[in-house]
Amino acid sequence: MKKVCLFLLFAVLPPLALVSCLFDSSGDSLVSWLDDQGFPSNYAVQTVDIDSIYLSSYEVGFDSTPRKQLYQGVLGTVSGMKHDLVFDFCFRDKSFFAKFDADSAKDFRAAFLALYPDSGFYAQAGLGDSLPIEEALTVKVSWALDTGAGSAYLDSVGDIKDSVWLAGLRQLKYAATVDTVMKINITDLDSALRLDLPDTLVQALSKVRDAAHLQLRLSAPDSKRLYRFYGPSSDITPFMRVKAYTKTVVSNGDASTSDTYKNIWPFRMAIVSTNMETCSDCVVLHGGVLESLLVDIPTTRILSALENLYGDSFPYTEGDSMDVRQAVVLARLTMPRSSSTDGSELGFPVQVVAASFVDSNGKDVESGESYKLNKDYILEKGHPNIVFFGGDSLSLQITDGLRSYINRAATGAKLRVVLRLGYSMLAPYDTLYYDHAGDDDDDDDSVHIFMDYLTYSRFDFTHYIDKKMHLKLWLATKRGDDE
């Protein structure tokens, strides 16, 4: 074995070392080889401007399905949308409700709902400086109360899947709706708000013997602003307090009272949004909700522009008709817009997010467009994809949509783009497009480009959607010199 090792050492390693060391290589030579084979060493970028694009159809779609929200609930009416809060309670306490129903409790029975403003939101929105927020808010309180017995009843309510519960809220028959005035006075960000629940509901609760399922809906159609509260999964949670009676004890001439009550926490929460817009011909996009603007971009001018550029026919119909002769490096659609901040819920600029329908294994699926930063432009004029901001145009990158469209143009593909309102932008001139979280100890390191919370804003496209739009393409082709 020693001989084998020696053999390997002297006969095998030297040639290996020779092969490894003697041959040296240079990048310029490889470029020369690539050139001899007909390969390029980079791709040439060409741009094409396509003017006078008018959208062939557009449609706003609003999905009014209630949305589950565990961390932040919103209540009020803003930007043409009414947002109601629904709490789902389920509880069981035989002895408490026996006391609650007792005749001795008749004069004391009461209930209120404690709500905590979302201090994180109010701080980030800069509303901490404009406190107090005061309003005598009329809240319509509606409820549906169902009673049962035993822990099996609690389980049967707990087993209702969220999606089933949310869908059921559309048809839920409420027992009653009562207007209640809630005095709002937010003096600091740690304030709590108390909503006294109507007497009818309190009386209804006295019918509870053992267990109950209460769905409580709050609606504020005439609010001055939208209120944001912590939800059932937050650190500070809303709760309902039901009081049976108050006992007054006189001791040494001092009277003190003690309440017999029960705190009940909701186990889930939903927001029900209703469109209150009155103009049926308007093209209005609302933020915060499941609403999108679907536009069809006509493609004839795009194909003829490509024909002029390359001298080839479009769409490509040879072989299996899949066009991979060129690639769209970037596509940008520019449309006019107003610079007004009307409709911005908090006065901040709001990003417009684009998504396109692209092919995925033979099926059209919606895919979010990426956004490449034009840093020089952003430093000078701010991000081009935001509204409620200075400037007169909105530029959206729809690269993936164009790539997919040109690739499959011969098979009847369409160029469809979906627009949505995204988050409020706190730093529209910053070339970062993401939040940077610093150390917890040193918040100065953190950079917040976007607000962490949805914005319930409203942008009116009515006057701009029919206007002339401009499409710019950056293209790479693999056509050779002789083509």
Partner 1 sequence: MIRKSLFSVLLFVIAANSASLIGLDALGKSTDGASSVTLGRGYSGGAKTGDGYVQWNPSNLAFEEKVSFTANLSYEGVVASKHGNSYSTYSFDVPSIFLIFPMKSFGTFSLGIIEQYTSNMNEEVSDSSKTSLADIEYQGSVFELTPSYALRLPFFNKISLGVTAHFVMGGNSRELTLGADNSQVADEDAWATNSSKLTDAVDGTWKIKDHPAYYTASAFYKGRRASYYFSYTMAHTLKNELKYNLQFSQLDTLVPTTTSRCIDVPTTFATGVSYNFKKRHNIMADFMFRGWDSNIENIAGSWNLSDTTYTQNEFVAAIGYERDGDDAFYNKFLQRVDYRLGAWVRNWYISNVTEYGVGIGAGIPLGMRGTKVDVAIQGGVRNADSESVWNEKFLGITIGLTGVGNWGNNPKKVH
User: Using an 8 Å Cβ cutoff, are 213 and 205 in contact?
Assistant: no
Minimum separation from the CB atom of position 404 to partner 1 (A): 7
Nearer to partner 1, 104 or 317 (CB): 317
User: Using an 8 Å Cβ cutoff, are 214 and 144 in contact?
Assistant: yes
Minimum separation from the CB atom of position 121 to partner 1 (A): 34
- CA distance linking residue 101 with residue 99, whole number of Å: 5
Nearer to partner 1, 31 or 114 (CB): 31
- The candidate with the shortest Cα–Cα distance to 189, out of 112, 134, 132, is 132
- CA distance linking residue 354 with residue 369, whole number of Å: 6
Half-sphere exposure of 197 (CA within 13 A, CB side): 25
Nearer to partner 1, 42 or 280 (CB): 42
- CA distance linking residue 228 with residue 452, whole number of Å: 13
Query: For residue 447, what are the β-bridge partners?
Result: 436
Nearer to partner 1, 344 or 397 (CB): 397
Nearer to partner 1, 213 or 403 (CB): 403
Q: Which two tokens stand for residue 244?
A: 């049976």
Total residue count of the chain as it appears in this document: 483
Q: How many CB atoms lie within 10 A of CB 91?
A: 22
Minimum separation from the CB atom of position 196 to partner 1 (A): 55
Minimum separation from the CB atom of position 422 to partner 1 (A): 22
Nearer to partner 1, 94 or 372 (CB): 372
Nearer to partner 1, 436 or 479 (CB): 479
User: Using an 8 Å Cβ cutoff, are 114 and 193 in contact?
Assistant: yes
DSSP-derived secondary structure for 242-260: EEEEEEEEEETTEEEEEEE
Minimum separation from the CB atom of position 308 to partner 1 (A): 16
Contacts (Cβ under 8 Å, ≥6 apart) of 380: none
399-407 vs 300-310: helix crossing angle, rounded to 10: 70
Minimum separation from the CB atom of position 389 to partner 1 (A): 20
User: Using an 8 Å Cβ cutoff, are 370 and 418 in contact?
Assistant: no
- CA distance linking residue 296 with residue 290, whole number of Å: 20
Query: For residue 148, what are the β-bridge partners?
Result: 211
Minimum separation from the CB atom of position 362 to partner 1 (A): 8
Minimum separation from the CB atom of position 72 to partner 1 (A): 32
Minimum separation from the CB atom of position 82 to partner 1 (A): 39
Nearer to partner 1, 238 or 315 (CB): 315
Nearer to partner 1, 71 or 474 (CB): 474
C-alpha pair distances (Å), 243 with each of 111, 131, 275: 6, 32, 37
